[in-house]
Amino acid sequence: MSANPTQQQPITAADKVFLQLQQAIVEGQIAAGSKISEPELAKRYDVSRATLRDAISRLEKCHLVERQANVGARVVNCTVEGLLDLYITREALEGMACRQAAEKMSDEEIVDMKAMLEQHAKAKALQDGIAYYQEEGDLDFHYKVILGSHNQQLINILCGQLYHLLRMYRCQFGMNSPRASKAFDEHSRIIDAIADRDGELAEILMRRHIAASRKNIENKIALMDAELEQSEQAQPQLMQQQAN
Amino acid sequence: MSANPTQQQPITAADKVFLQLQQAIVEGQIAAGSKISEPELAKRYDVSRATLRDAISRLEKCHLVERQANVGARVVNCTVEGLLDLYITREALEGMACRQAAEKMSDEEIVDMKAMLEQHAKAKALQDGIAYYQEEGDLDFHYKVILGSHNQQLINILCGQLYHLLRMYRCQFGMNSPRASKAFDEHSRIIDAIADRDGELAEILMRRHIAASRKNIENKIALMDAELEQSEQAQPQLMQQQAN
DNA sequence: CTGCATCAAATTGTCGACAATAATACTTTA
DNA sequence: TAAAGTATTATTGTCGACAATTTGATGCAG
Averaged confidence pLDDT in chain B: 86
**Rounded distance in angstroms from the CA atom of residue A35 to the C1' atom of nucleotide C28:** 33
For chain A, what percent of residues have pLDDT higher than 70?
81
Question: Which chain B residue shows the shortest CA-CA distance from A152?
Answer: B85
List of protein residues whose beta carbon is under 7 A from strand C? A 12-15, 47-51, 54, 70-71; B 35-40, 49-50, 53, 67, 69-73
The ipTM, to two decimals, is: 0.86
Burial of residue B58, with CB atoms counted within 10 A of its CB: 0-12 exposed, 13-18 middle, 19 or more buried: buried
pTM: predicted TM-score of the whole model, two decimal places = 0.87
Phi, psi at A75, each rounded to 5°: -65, 140
Nearest residue: Cα versus C1' of C10: B39
**Rounded distance in angstroms from the CA atom of residue B162 to the C1' atom of nucleotide D13:** 28
Where is pLDDT greater, at A124 or A65? A65
Q: How much is the average pLDDT of A94-113?
A: 96
Question: What one-letter code names the amino acid at B225?
Answer: D
Averaged confidence pLDDT in chain A: 86
CA torsion sign for B110, B116, B119, B123 is: negative
Where is pLDDT greater, at B181 or B191? B191
User: Which residues on A lie below 8 Å from B70 (Cβ)?
Assistant: 11-12
Residues A204 and A92 sit within 8 Å (Cβ to Cβ) = no
Q: Choosing among A52, A70, A85, which should be mutated to test the B contact, i.e. which has the most B CBs within 10 A?
A: A85
What integer pLDDT is reported at residue A177 of this predicted model? 61
| Chain B residue set in contact with A, beta carbons under 8 Å | 10-12, 15, 50, 53-54, 57-58, 60-61, 63, 69-70, 82, 85-86, 88-89, 91-93, 95-96, 100, 151-154, 156-157, 161-162, 244
DSSP state of B23: H
**Nucleotide nearest B48, from its CA to each C1':** D15
What integer pLDDT is reported at residue B222 of this predicted model? 86
Report CB contact under 8 Å: B60, A61. yes
Q: Which of A191, A47, A160 is nearest to B157 (CA)?
A: A160
pLDDT above 60: residue B3: no
Report CB contact under 8 Å: B61, A63. no
Highest mean pLDDT among A116-125, B178-187, B212-221, B234-243: B212-221
What integer pLDDT is reported at residue B240 of this predicted model? 37
pLDDT above 50: residue B78: yes
Phi, psi at B72, each rounded to 5°: 125, -175
What integer pLDDT is reported at residue A233 of this predicted model? 57
Write the DSSP string, A171-230.
Answer: HHTT---S-HHHHHHHHHHHHHHHHTT-HHHHHHHHHHHHHHHHHHHHHHHHHHHHHHHH
For chain B, what percent of residues have pLDDT higher than 70?
81
pLDDT above 70: residue A220: yes
Q: How much is the average pLDDT of B41-68?
A: 96
Which of B58, B63, B88 is facing A156, going by the closest CB pair? B63
Number of A to B CB contacts under 8 A, please give it: 81
